[in-house]
Structure 1
Amino acid sequence: MHDTVITAPSGALPGSSQTSAALPALQVIRRNGAAVAFNPEKIAIAMSKAFLAVEHGQTALSSRVREQVTVLTQAVVSALIRRLPAGGSVHIEDIQDQVELALMRSGAHDVAKAYVLYREKRTAERAGQAHDTPQLHITIDDNRQPLDIARLTEMAAEACLDLGAEVSPKTVVEQAVRDLYDGISFNEVRRALILSARSLIEREPAYNYVTARLLLDLMRAEVLAENISHGAMHTRYAEYFPHYIKLGVEAGLLDQRLAQFDLHKLGAAIAAERDFKFGYLGLQTLYDRYFLHIEEQRIELPQIFFMRVAMGLAINEIDREERAIEFYNVLSSFDFMSSTPTLFNSGTVHAQLSSCYLTTVSDDLDGIYQAIKENALLQKYAGGIGNDWTPVRALGSRIKGTNGKSQGVIPFLKVVNDTAVAVNQGGKRKGAVCGYLETWHLDIEEFLDLRKNTGDDRRRTHDMNTAHWIPDLFMQRVIDNAEWTLFSPSDVPDLHEKFGKAFAAAYCQYERRADFGEIKQFKRVSALQLWRKMLTMLFETGHPWITFKDACNIRSPQQHAGIVHSSNLCTEITLNTSATEIAVCNLGSVNLTAHLMEENGKLALDQAKLKATITTAMRMLDNVIDVNFYAVGSARNSNLRHRPVGLGIMGFQDCLHALRIPYASMDAVEFADSAMETVCYHAYSASSRLAEERGAYSSFKGSLWDQGVLPPDTLNLLSEARGGQVEVDRSSTLDWDALRTRIQQHGMRNSNCVAIAPTATIANIIGVSASIEPDYQNLYVKSNLSGEFTVVNETLVDDLKALDLWDEVMAADIKYYDGSLARIDRIPAELKALYATAFEIDPSWLVEAAARRQKWIDQAQSLNLYFAVPSGKKLHDTYLLAWQRGLKTSYYLRSLAATSAEKSTGAGGELNSVLSAMPEPKQCLIDDPGCEACQ
C-alpha cells in the first residue's frame, strides 16, 4: 500500500445520517489483546488506501470513488451492527474480513485483491517478529483474575458432548480467546464462546447445538445467579420452580392461581434434558421475545417457560396437575407447539391467547371507527386481524345524513394502516391487519393500488395487507372473457350476504337493473383485464392476495349460522362474521417430523402417537377459549358460542426429506393427502370426544356436522354449485362413516378444528421447516428481531457426508449458488431433486399438494406460491388451477425478480459471508419486521 495521507469521509457515518456517536458500544480487539474504541473512519481510510493501490500512482480519490468508499464503509459498519446489535467486542481480523467481503460484493475485484495481498504481507511480517502473548485477565464481581483456559475448554466440552467428532471444544475456545481483551467480564467471555461456535455452523451444522448449549450457560447464570452445569439442572429446575412462581406472582406477571398448583409435583416433572433439543435460533428467539423478565432480567428458563404455558392452559381443569404435565410433555418434547400469543401470555395476568380475529365493518361512521378501535384493542395483546370492508359504500356514493358523497373505503384503510403501526403489542411484535374487499366493489381498482410506492401517499397503505374476496361468478367471467360489473354496496347490500348460486342470481339481477337505469352508480369492465391487473399488482407489490369466497362458504360447516366474509391475516381462517360477531381462532401446530417411525424397514407416520398428540392438542386449544382474555365483548360472545380452533401442521418438508420424497412429485402429493387425512380425522374425532365429555358447542344444531356432512363431503357441494370444475382426487383410507356416526351422536365441541397457519416463529423455536413450505435455501442467513442466524440443511449435509462430498469447497459452492444444488455438477441428480429449493419447484406442485390437504380441512391453509421466472401466463395458469382444485385461499406470491445474489465467500467462516438471494420469505406481519403473523 502507498503511505499517502488520506482524508477520510467526515461528518455523518458514510452512507447514512447516523453518526458514530449513535453506534452501539463496539470495541475493537487488537492483535495484542488490547481493546480500543471502534472508529468507522479507519475503515474508510483502509478502503481508500486499497483503491489508491490500484490507481497507479494517484494520490487523490475521484468523487465517484469517494462516494463508493462511503457506501462500502456503511455496508461494513451495518454488517458489524447486525452481528452485535447491543454492542460488544469484535476482533480486528473480523473487521478486515468484512472489508474484504464488501469489496468483493461491490465488484471491485482488483481493489479486493490488493487489500488481500496487503493483509497477507502484514501477516507475514508479524509472524517474523518475536513477541510475547500477553496474559489476559477477566473480571468477576469487580475482581480481576487470570483467564482460565482450562475452564473455558471444560465449558465448551460440555456443550459439545455427544455431538460427534466433527465438533471441537478446542476450536471454539481458540477462536473465542482471539476476541477477548484484558479485564473483560466473565459474561462477555461466555458471549465470545457463543459467537465463536456460531461462526462455525456453516462449516459443521452440529455447532448449532453447541451454540445453543453455550447460550443456555449464559441464561442459567442470569436467571439463577450462579454457574450451573447441564448435569445439575434436573435438581436445580425442581428447586427453582416454586421460587419462580412466587417471584412472578409478586411481580404482577403471573396469574395468582398458578401458586395454587402442587408446585413440587410439577417441578419434579420437569425434564431438564429437553433443553438439549434446542438449536441456537430457537433458544435465542425464546430468550429475546418469550421469556418473562423483571426489569430486563429473565426469570424463565426453557422448561420453566413450557411448564408456565401448560399451567395456564390447565388452570380450569379438575385434575389440573396431571393435565399440566400432559400439556407440558407435548410442548417440551416438540410434538406440538401452541401459537405465539398463547406462548407469550398463557399463565400471565393478561392471558390473551388467541391468534386471529376476523371482523366485518359496518357502513356508518360509528361502525367504521368502532372497528378501528377494536383492531387496536385486539392487536394490543398479540392478535392478528382480518377486516371485511366490503359493506362500506364506494367513492361517490350518497350519504343520507349529510346529503354529501362518500370518500369510499380507501381513506379509512389508511387509518387502519397507521393504527396497526402505532399498536406494537407491548414491543414484542408489530400490530398487523389485512383488509378484504369483494371483487364487485366499485373501489376495487383503487384497492389494487394500495401497496404501490407511487401515487398519493394519503391513499396508500404500506404497512397493512390487502386481499381479494373473489366469487366464483367472477372466475367464470374470466374464463369466458366476459364483462364484469362493479357496484357500490349501498346499492346492492344483499350481495355481501350471499354466495354460490344465490349470489350469482342476485348479481345478474342487479346487472339488469343497472342496464335499465335503476342503479346509477356502476362500472363495466372486462373481467379478464381486471384479473390480469389483479395478478400484475400481486406480482409487483405482493398484494392483494387471492382468496375465493364461494369455496370458503360452500364448504363451511357453519353455513346455518352466518356467512364467511373474509379470511384472516394469514388466509388460513374461514369463520363467520357480522356486525355483532367478531370471529376468533386459537392456533397450534403438530410437528409431523416428531411423528415419524420406522415400520418394516421404512419410515412412516406413527398413527398411534399422532392420535395421542392431537387428542391432547385439541384439549389445549379448546381450553384456550375458556381461559382467554377478550379485549372486545363481541369476540368473547362469538368464541364461546362457536368454539372454533385451528390445529395445523409443520415440518412437512422435513418429513419429505426423511422419506426421500422430492417435493415436486406425485409421491409428495400423496403424502400430503394421507398425512392430512390422518391429522384431520383425529382432530375431528378428538373434538367429538370432547363434546361427549363437555358438551357440544351451542350452535351445533343445523350445522353440516349435525347433518352428517363432513369436510371431505363438502367437495361434492362445491362441485355441484359450480357445475363441475372441482378436480380433486376423492379417495380416502380411514373409516369416515364411523366418525360421521359418532359426531351425529355426540356432537362436536368445536365448530371448526383445522387450519394450517404459517408457523414461522414456532417452527424456528423447535427447529423444523415451517408449515407446509418447501425449503427456501439449503444454506443462508436468516435475519429477524433476534439477530442473524446461519441456517444449514442438516439432512443435506448428512447425505453429502455419506458420499464424502461435504467440505469447505462444497459449502462455498452452495453459498455461491444461493443455497441451490442445481449447478453443482458433483452432486447426484437424486439429491438435487430431493433438496430442490422453493424457486426450483414448479408452483403447480404446491397447488396440487394443497388441494389434497384442502380436501380434509374444514378451514384453509396459508399457501405461499414461488415463481422463479414469473410471467402473466404462468400466474394466470397457477391461480386458475388453484380455483379449479377447490382451494379456498392463497397467501404470498414470491418471486426472484430483482435479486442481489452474493457470490463471494470468506475463508474464516465469518457469519455474514452467506447472503440470501432475496430477503427470507415473509410469512406474515407480526413476529418479524414486515413478516410473520399468527404463529
Structure 2
Amino acid sequence: MPQLVVKPNNRQLAFDEIRLSVYADRNLKGLDMLDKERLLRGVNAKLRGEQVTGEEISSAFTMSALELVTKEEPNWKFAAARSFLTSLYKKAATNRRYKAYPEEPYGAFYPLITELVQKGIYREDLLTSYTKEQIEELGECIDPSRDLLFDYIGLLTLAERYLATDFDGRVMELPQERYMVIAMFLMHNEPADKRIDLVKEAYWAMSNLYMTAATPTMSNAGKKVAGQLSSCFIDTVDDSLEGIFDSNTDIARLSKMGGGIGVYLGKVRARGSDIRGHKNTSSGVIPWIRQLNNTAVSVDQLGTRKGAIAVYLDVFHKDILSFLDLKLNNGDERMRAHDVFHGICLPDLFMEAVEAREEWSLFCPHEVKKIMGWKDENGRPLGLEDFYDQAQGDGEFRQKYAEAVANPQLPRITVQAIDIMKRVMKSQLETGTPYMFYRDTVNRANPNSAHGMIYSSNLCTEIMQNQSPTVVEQEELVTKDGQTRIVISKIPGDFVVCNLNSIHLARAVPAGVLERLVPIQVRMLDNVIDINNIEVLQAQYTNSQYRAVGLGTFGLHHLLALEGIRWESDEAVAYNDNLYEHINYLLVKSSMELAKEKGHYPKFKGSDWESGEYFTFRGYTDGEHEGKFVTTEQWRELQQEVQANGVRNAWLFAIAPNGSTSIIAGSTASIDPLYELLSYEEKTTYKVANPAPDLSEKTIWYYKTAFLIDQHWSIKMAAARQRHVDQAQSFNLYVRPDIRASEFLELHLHAWKAGIKSTYYVRSRALTIEECESCAS
C-alpha cells in the first residue's frame, strides 16, 4: 500500500484510503448496481510502491473500471470515463494555471480564449467578433455536467483527436469548451443582435449530444490551423493532359487540408484510343489512377494519415474490366492501385442486361464523342456518360446506347453483362469495393438537374451533386508594368463540396427536440460555406453557387432498440419512412426560412425547388402518402412557401458513415445495424470493451447484430428513407464470406429495384476496412 501521494507541484500528501473511497463514490454517483468494493480492489491492486501520483490513481480507477465492463454491466464504461475526466481536468488546470474543484472543474473561459489566440492556436475572430463581456457570458453557459454524457471510448476519442493542445501537445481545452468554441466560430459572422443567442443554441445542440459536427469542423473550427471545415470533395476529370494533371494537383491540395476526395474518370479516353489522330496511343485510365494512388500515399492529411481518394468509372467504359481488378492482390501489379477506393457507375439498362443475361458493350468516351457527333445546345460534344434515363425503362441513355451499339464505325468490346457483375462481386468479397452508384436513379431525383448532371459520388457514397470538369481555356504570356507573367485561364466546372453534420437519433428523438434542433443545424452548415476558405477556386465557386449541405443521422439501431422495434420488421420500415419524412420536412422548412432571411442559393431559378417538382416527385402533395408526423396539407403549404421564397441550399440531406463522431456520442454508427453486442477497441497495451449503447435486459432483444440480419430488411428500410433523402446514404451490405453468388446478386438487384441510389462497402468478417475520417460526421 502506498504511503504518499505526489501532486503535480511536487507537494506530498499522506495516502488516504478514505479519500480513495470518496473518489469512488463520486465516480459511481448515479450509476446504480455497480459494486464500489470490486472497483476499489482493482484500484488497490494497481497502486504499488511507496509513493504514487494523482495521475496514477486516476489511471488505476480508469483501468479497473474498464476491466469490469461486460454485457451484463455495461455502465462501468461511464465510471471509467469519469476517472479519465478527472485526469483531463487536472491536466488542463495545471497547464492553464488554475485550481480545478470537483464542483467547478473548468477554469475561466475568457483567459483561455485570450491565451490561445496569443499563442496562435485559436483564430483572432474569437476576440474580434465577441467582447470580453460576451465571452464571459458564454463561459457562464458552459455546463460541465454534460461531460458525464460521454462513455470512456467517446471521451478518449474526443480528447485524442479534437481538443486543442498547445504546441508541445499539452491539453489546454476541455470538452465543453471545444463545443462552445465551435459554436462561437460558426456564428461569428451572424448579425450582432442575434449572435450570442445563436451561439448558445448551437452549444445546446452539441453539448447535449443531440448532434455532432463532422470531423473537419470538430477538429478545426476556431483553431488557427491549416485544416478546413468541409468534409469531402468530388472532382470531374477533363479528357486532356492539362485537365488530368491539374486535377491531380487540386486533389493533392485538398488532401493536404484533410478532405476526402471522389474523382470521376468517365470522360478520360480508354486504353488504345487515339491521341491527336495517332492510333492506339492512349494508355487509358489505369495509369492516371495509379498517379492518384501515389498522391494519396505521398500527400498525407495534416501529417496524420494518408489521403483518402475514391475513383469512379462507368460500366460502359472500355477500361472497366481492368478497373474492377484495381485492388485485387494477384495479377499484374502495374495495373493495381491498392490505396485508392473505387466505385462503378451503373445505368438501369446494365442491371436489366444482368438480370436478363444479355450482352453488354463497352466504349471509349473519346471515340463516342468523335464518331457519334452528339452535341449539347452550345455545340459541345457529348458522350454516353452525359445522358440518363428520365423514367424507369425509358429515356435518353438507352436511346443513345442503342445508337452507339448500332453504329458499325464505333469500336467496342462486347461481353456478357453477368460476367462484369461477377467481377464486381468477386472484388467486393475480396476488398469490400467497388461501391455501386445507380446513375439513373440518382439523376431522376436530382432537384437541380436543370443546371447539370451527377456522374458519380464521393468517398462515402452519400453525396450526389452536379458535376462538370474544369477546362483549361488558354495559357499566355502577359507583360504589365514591366513584369512578365504566365496567365492561365480556366473555365470552372462544378467541383462538389460536402458540408456535413448529423442528428443523434437515439438522443434527439426521445427528447422530442427535432423541431428545435434541425434549424440550428442547418444554420451551422450554411455558415460553414461562408467561413470556409478552400484553396481550389472552382470548389470555392461551386460551394457559393449551390450552397449545398448534407445533414445526416446516426444511432438508428440504437433508437430502434430503445423504441422496442425489431430491425427485421415492417414496423421498422414504416418507422424509417415516417421519421425521415419528418426530418426532411424540418430540413426543407429550415432552409426556406434561412432563404427568407439571407436569400436563396444563386442557382435556384430553374430548379425543382422553384417549379415545385421536388415535392410532387416524392409524393408529398398527392395525398397518397400521408405521413405520421407531416400532413399532405403541410407539405403543400411548404411547397408554396419554397416556390415564393426559395431555399438557401440546393441539396440538404445526406447520411454519412459517422464513424468517429458516433463513437464520441456513444451510439451506433449512421444507419448501420450494430456490429457486435460487445466490441473491443484495441490499444497499445490493452483492449477496451465497448458494449452496445444502452444495453439492458430490454434492449438486448432488439440488438440483432449485422451479420445475422437478413440484408433484404436493411434494403427495405434504406428504400423507405431514400424517398426523403435528396442526396444518398452510406449504406453498407453485411454478408458472409461464403455467400452464394445467386444470393449476393439478388441483394444488388433488390437495392437497385428498390430505388437506393448507392451502396457503400460490402462488409464480411474476413475484411478489415479503413473508414474515411473526413466524412465521419
More displaced 10-residue stretch of structure 1: 866-875 or 213-222 = 866-875
CA contact 2:234–2:458 (8 Å) conserved in 1:
yes
1:208 aligns with 2:98: no
Q: Give the equivalent residue in structure 2 for 1:824.
A: none
Matched residue type, 2:517? T
- Which aligned pairs between 1:702-713 and structure 2 lie closer than 5 A? 702-710=606-614, 713=617
Matched residue type, 1:375? I
Q: Give the equivalent residue in structure 2 for 1:323.
A: 198
Q: Which runs of 4+ in 1 moved over 6 A?
A: 401-404, 784-787
Secondary structure (helix, strand or coil) at the match of 1:750 reads: coil
* Pairs aligned (count): 716
Q: TM-score, normalised by structure 2?
A: 0.88
Q: Give the equivalent residue in structure 2 for 1:836.
A: 704
Q: Give the equivalent residue in structure 2 for 1:307.
A: 180
Task: Give the RMSD, CA atoms, in angstroms.
Answer: 2.3
Matched residue type, 1:552? V
- Which aligned pairs between 1:390-539 and structure 2 lie closer than 5 A? 390-400=266-276, 405-493=281-369, 494-500=383-389, 501-513=395-407, 516=408, 518-520=409-411, 522-539=412-429
Mark the CA change 1:161 to 1:857 in structure 2 (over 3 Å): closer, same or farther. Answer: same
Q: Give the equivalent residue in structure 2 for 1:883.
A: 752
Matched residue type, 2:636? D
List per-residue Cα deviations over 1:271-311 (Å, max 9, x = no partner): 11111111111110011010111110011100100001101
1:220 aligns with 2:89: yes
Of 612, 619, 629, the residue aligned with 2:516 is 612
User: Shift of the alpha carbon at 1:144?
Assistant: 5.8
User: Shift of the alpha carbon at 1:666?
Assistant: 0.6
CA distance in 2, matches of 1:861, 1:711: 20
1:591 aligns with 2:504: yes
Rg comparison, structure with higher value: 1
Mark the CA change 1:140 to 1:219 in structure 2 (over 3 Å): closer, same or farther. Answer: closer
CA distance in 1, matches of 2:21, 2:708: 43
User: Shift of the alpha carbon at 1:376?
Assistant: 1.6
User: Shift of the alpha carbon at 1:185?
Assistant: 3.4
Matched residue type, 2:293? N
User: Shift of the alpha carbon at 1:788?
Assistant: 4.4
User: Shift of the alpha carbon at 1:783?
Assistant: 3.8
CA distance in 1, matches of 2:499, 2:531: 12
1:745 aligns with 2:644: yes
CA contact 1:669–1:849 (8 Å) conserved in 2:
yes
Q: TM-score, normalised by structure 1?
A: 0.74
Secondary structure (helix, strand or coil) at the match of 1:435 reads: strand
Q: Give the equivalent residue in structure 1 for 2:257.
A: 381
Q: Give the equivalent residue in structure 1 for 2:141.
A: 269
CA contact 1:569–1:924 (8 Å) conserved in 2:
no
CA distance in 2, matches of 1:508, 1:314: 53
Structure 1 unaligned spans of 5+: 1-132, 598-604, 717-728, 801-830, 899-917, 928-932
User: Shift of the alpha carbon at 1:256?
Assistant: 0.4
List per-residue Cα deviations over 1:372-416 (Å, max 9, x = no partner): 111121122221111001111111111228766111111111221
Matched residue type, 1:680? N
Q: Give the equivalent residue in structure 1 for 2:433.
A: 543
Q: Give the equivalent residue in structure 1 for 2:689.
A: 790
Of 193, 218, 230, the residue aligned with 1:343 is 218
Matched residue type, 2:216? P
Mark the CA change 1:711 to 1:889 in structure 2 (over 3 Å): closer, same or farther. Answer: farther
Mark the CA change 1:402 to 1:307 in structure 2 (over 3 Å): closer, same or farther. Answer: farther
Secondary structure (helix, strand or coil) at the match of 1:551 reads: helix
Q: Give the equivalent residue in structure 1 for 2:661.
A: 762
Secondary structure (helix, strand or coil) at the match of 1:578 reads: coil
CA distance in 1, matches of 2:53, 2:541: 54
Mark the CA change 1:769 to 1:744 in structure 2 (over 3 Å): closer, same or farther. Answer: same
1:172 aligns with 2:63: no
Mark the CA change 1:641 to 1:223 in structure 2 (over 3 Å): closer, same or farther. Answer: same
Matched residue type, 2:594? L
Matched residue type, 2:735? F
Of 245, 249, 254, the residue aligned with 2:113 is 245
User: Shift of the alpha carbon at 1:934?
Assistant: 3.8
Secondary structure (helix, strand or coil) at the match of 2:30 reads: coil
Q: Give the equivalent residue in structure 2 for 1:155.
A: 23
CA contact 2:550–2:654 (8 Å) conserved in 1:
yes
Mark the CA change 1:440 to 1:285 in structure 2 (over 3 Å): closer, same or farther. Answer: same
CA contact 2:668–2:693 (8 Å) conserved in 1:
no
1:370 aligns with 2:246: yes
User: Shift of the alpha carbon at 1:698?
Assistant: 0.4
1:867 aligns with 2:731: no
Q: Give the equivalent residue in structure 1 for 2:676.
A: 777
Secondary structure (helix, strand or coil) at the match of 2:551 reads: strand
Mark the CA change 1:371 to 1:787 in structure 2 (over 3 Å): closer, same or farther. Answer: farther
CA distance in 2, matches of 1:401, 1:375: 30
Matched residue type, 1:310? A
Secondary structure (helix, strand or coil) at the match of 2:343 reads: strand
User: Shift of the alpha carbon at 1:438?
Assistant: 0.4
User: Shift of the alpha carbon at 1:139?
Assistant: 6.7
CA contact 1:379–1:423 (8 Å) conserved in 2:
yes
Mark the CA change 1:705 to 1:785 in structure 2 (over 3 Å): closer, same or farther. Answer: farther
RCO comparison, higher one (Cα < 8 Å, 6+): 2
Q: Give the equivalent residue in structure 1 for 2:377.
A: none
CA distance in 1, matches of 2:683, 2:576: 29
List per-residue Cα deviations over 1:212-266 (Å, max 9, x = no partner): 1111111111111166233123xx44x2x11111122112121101013121111
- Which aligned pairs between 1:58-77 and structure 2 lie closer than 5 A? none
- Which aligned pairs between 1:597-746 and structure 2 lie closer than 5 A? 597=510, 606=512, 609-710=513-614, 713-714=617-618, 732-733=627-628, 734=630, 735-746=634-645
List per-residue Cα deviations over 1:61-103 (Å, max 9, x = no partner): xxxxxxxxxxxxxxxxxxxxxxxxxxxxxxxxxxxxxxxxxxx
User: Shift of the alpha carbon at 1:346?
Assistant: 1.0
User: Shift of the alpha carbon at 1:152?
Assistant: 2.8
Matched residue type, 2:81? A
Structure 2 unaligned spans of 5+: 370-382, 390-394, 470-492
List per-residue Cα deviations over 1:817-836 (Å, max 9, x = no partner): xxxxxxxxxxxxxx64x221
Secondary structure (helix, strand or coil) at the match of 1:664 reads: coil
CA distance in 2, matches of 1:890, 1:472: 15
Q: Give the equivalent residue in structure 2 for 1:97.
A: none
Matched residue type, 1:199? E
CA contact 1:309–1:347 (8 Å) conserved in 2:
yes
